[in-house]
Amino acid sequence: GDWQPVEAAYSVMEMGIEAYKKVLGGADPFKFACPLPGLGALAMFNETTTQPAFCCKAYDKLGWPYQFPDCAHITACETCFRTSGPVSLVAHPVAPLAGVAWASSLAVYSKAKPKSGALLSALSSSVSGFFGHTGDSAIKGHRLEADIGTGLQDHTANLCPNIGDWDETMLNDDSDNLHARVLKSESNKVAVVVFRGTQMTSMKNWLVDADLTRTKLKLGGGFPDTMVHEGFLKSLRRVLPRVKKWVTGSLLLFMAGLPADWKLVFTGHSLGGALATLAATLAELEGWSRTPDAVITFGAPRIADSTLGAWWKAKGLCGKLIRVDTYNDVIHYMPLKTAFKWWEVATDFMQCAADLKACMKTGPASLLSGGTGLAGSGLTFSDRWAHVCGHDSEVLIASSTKGLNANLTDFNAIGGAMAHFIDNCLYGYSYGVLRSDIAANDAYCGISGDICGVGPGGR
């Protein structure tokens, strides 16, 4: 019979980090130690030393992708810290909204608790046949809080310390495990429609990502049809009517329409960023009475061919769009030419225990190319896809980790996943955002390195 997706009970990246812990004798791989701990490290290098330069190179030879502050000048991973020039962001008209977009894109991963009473909850359920899964949720103290990691340790942080009157509405579709929320602050006259990104343990999400079929989207106005990612578009159409009803003020008793003098942001990380960009596109095509003032994404994959980007430019929409990327994030180079088979990657990681050194240096074979190595056919970048508005819309931030980029420089498979994550202070998008001009130009939340306890500009 047909194979049915199930929720995977593991995270491949977590499995990779556990493999490093095993080599390091159970030590935290994010805490620099010199000499390196563990019998595996001793066996690999056949000596011990307390010289930091040697230890930094030893971690590098081990294949550990994270760049310790002690080692950045020694291992010299330029791609780990590659950034755009400050002018590219400062000059962007929606740069002041990028901080609130980051905070929302991280907070949407946290669990929401319904705040409605029994009567309103029952009413919400009764209209779900018309509007899908819609409801309000409680935000603790009206603050935008979420768990954020520092290496292997987590803490709860207020991601938007300057705003204390957030209200939240959930707009979900359970069939593809898609989750969207609307956040609004009356005092700051700002509303955010945020789409949650791919959950690492959600096979439903990964099947949406891996659907590489393209479908036509009519742009009208003399433009040729654009070919878009069918999986993203089909999933978005399930939740978009609820977004439209909220934005335009037709969602019955749940929300009024958005006032004209408010700023409206569409945002998301990973899959969420792809959905945010497509949602903004459809809002324009369908002639919504209110369209977003800003579309800000983090690590979003490509969603269509170059025709869509040309349409955005012709419509004067590119000034609304900021795509925040880390250079070594594997996801923002996707889709590849062939489907990304997550379950095969997981199987390969299970086999890593047989040869930890080889696995950690190269990563699982299926990620590279169907088990035949990098020269095979799996990791092949596709020219059928293009980012909306091209390089003009992109802002690069540091990731502090090796990974996967178009030139395969500083390649590390596990690092390619780490560079994509948004929920850790030591690597990926939170590392980069809080040390970038995004924080410096934030006009709403007051984000800074203090959220991670490192202070402004600290590494």
Q: What is the pLDDT of residues 254-301, one digit of tens each?
A: 455 788 899 999 999 999 999 999 999 999 999 999 999 999 999 999
Q: Tell me the C-alpha distance between 274 and 303, whole Å.
A: 6
The pLDDT confidence band at residue 393, using thresholds 50, 70 and 90, is very high
The pLDDT confidence band at residue 250, using thresholds 50, 70 and 90, is low
Q: Tell me the C-alpha distance between 285 and 240, whole Å.
A: 13
**Rounded average pLDDT over 179-198:** 92
Cα–Cα distance list, 111 to 100, 141, 267, 420 (Å): 19, 15, 18, 21
**Of residues 403, 436, 322, the one with CA closest to residue 77:** 403
Greatest distance between any 2 Cα atoms in the chain: 70
Which pair of tokens denotes residue 361?
A: 């240096």
Query: 450 or 408: whose pLDDT is higher?
Result: 450
Cα–Cα distance list, 252 to 125, 169, 248, 255 (Å): 13, 13, 11, 7
Residue 138 has pLDDT above 70, yes or no: no
pLDDT for the residue 251:
56
Residue 409 has pLDDT above 80, yes or no: yes
- Mean pLDDT lowest among 13-22, 235-244, 294-303, 309-318: 13-22
pLDDT for the residue 231:
86
Burial of 26 (0-12, 13-18, 19+ CB in 10 A): exposed
Query: 203 or 403: whose pLDDT is higher?
Result: 403
**Rounded average pLDDT over 166-193:** 85
